[in-house]
Amino acid sequence: MSHANAALTPRARLRLARLIVETGWTHTAAAKMFMVSPRTAAKWAQRYRHEGPAGMVDRSSRPRTSPTKTDPATVRRIVRLRWRQRLGPVQIAAHAGVPASTVHAVLVRCGISRLSYIDRVTGEPLRRYEHPHPGALIHVDVTKFANIPDGGGHRFTTRQQGFRNARATAHRTGQRGQHYRPRIGTAHVHTVIDDHTRIAYAEIH
């Protein structure tokens, strides 16, 4: 797929190449019509001559050879040190004899750049699971919290002010506890998370 700022789409490249190869337009005239450089027009015309319409699609920008690529033995050693000893890039670099930036690139490529991505028991990368469609599995959790009195509790204000706030709240709600002490009640937060979309919903009861 062409990037957002591409001057030519595969269809426009095919039209440009056919104008040059089949109709006989010059590279300059065809390039002016499609608002590209003559060099670009010549490139697509040459590719059309050799490959036909199939040559108009985008190609991978990956180089054919990578002489400086880290060898597989070093990659295995880096991964082994990360799994077994939980070392960071700098410590691994000292053991493997490669730069820390290379170690970090290998860890990112292998998906273990963070220790939180690795299972503590097996040392294997964590595999995120999810059900195939929304609603297939719902996680429900209920957490109990004490209500906060109007004006704030004693942890936010002073103990005396917090007691006065609790007494005022109990007077408003009509709730009293043992020995006629003010009772502000508790709240149960019901949290629901969809396993597929990870959408969360919370409601207080």
Instruction: From residue 190, give the alpha-carbon distance in Å to each of 50, 203, 204.
Output: 65, 5, 6
Token pair of 10, please? 């595969």
Q: Are residues 36 and 81 in the same domain?
A: no
192 phi and psi, to 5 degrees? -125, 130
Do the domain assignments include residue 44?
yes
Do the domain assignments include residue 23?
yes
Q: What is the mean predicted confidence (pLDDT) over 94-109? A: 91
Do the domain assignments include residue 179?
yes
Helices 10-21 and 38-51, interaxial angle, to 10°? 90
Please give the tally of structural domains in the chain: 3
Do the domain assignments include residue 129?
no
Do the domain assignments include residue 33?
yes
Q: Which domain holds residue 79?
A: 72-117
State pLDDT tens for residues 38-90. 999 999 999 999 999 999 988 888 888 888 888 899 999 998 888 788 888 99
Q: What is the mean predicted confidence (pLDDT) over 86-103? A: 90
Percent of the residues in the chain that have a pLDDT greater than 90, as a whole number? 40
Task: Tell me the one-letter amino acid at 32.
Answer: K
Q: Are β-strands 138-146 and 186-194 bridged in parallel, bridged antiparallel, or unpaired?
A: antiparallel
The pLDDT value given to residue 133? 87
What global pTM score does this model have? 0.39
Q: Are residues 151 and 99 in the same domain?
A: no
Do the domain assignments include residue 32?
yes
Q: Does residue 125 surpass a pLDDT of 80?
A: no
Q: Are residues 52 and 79 in the same domain?
A: no
Which of 117, 151, 170 is the endpoint of a domain?
117
Q: Are residues 51 and 76 in the same domain?
A: no
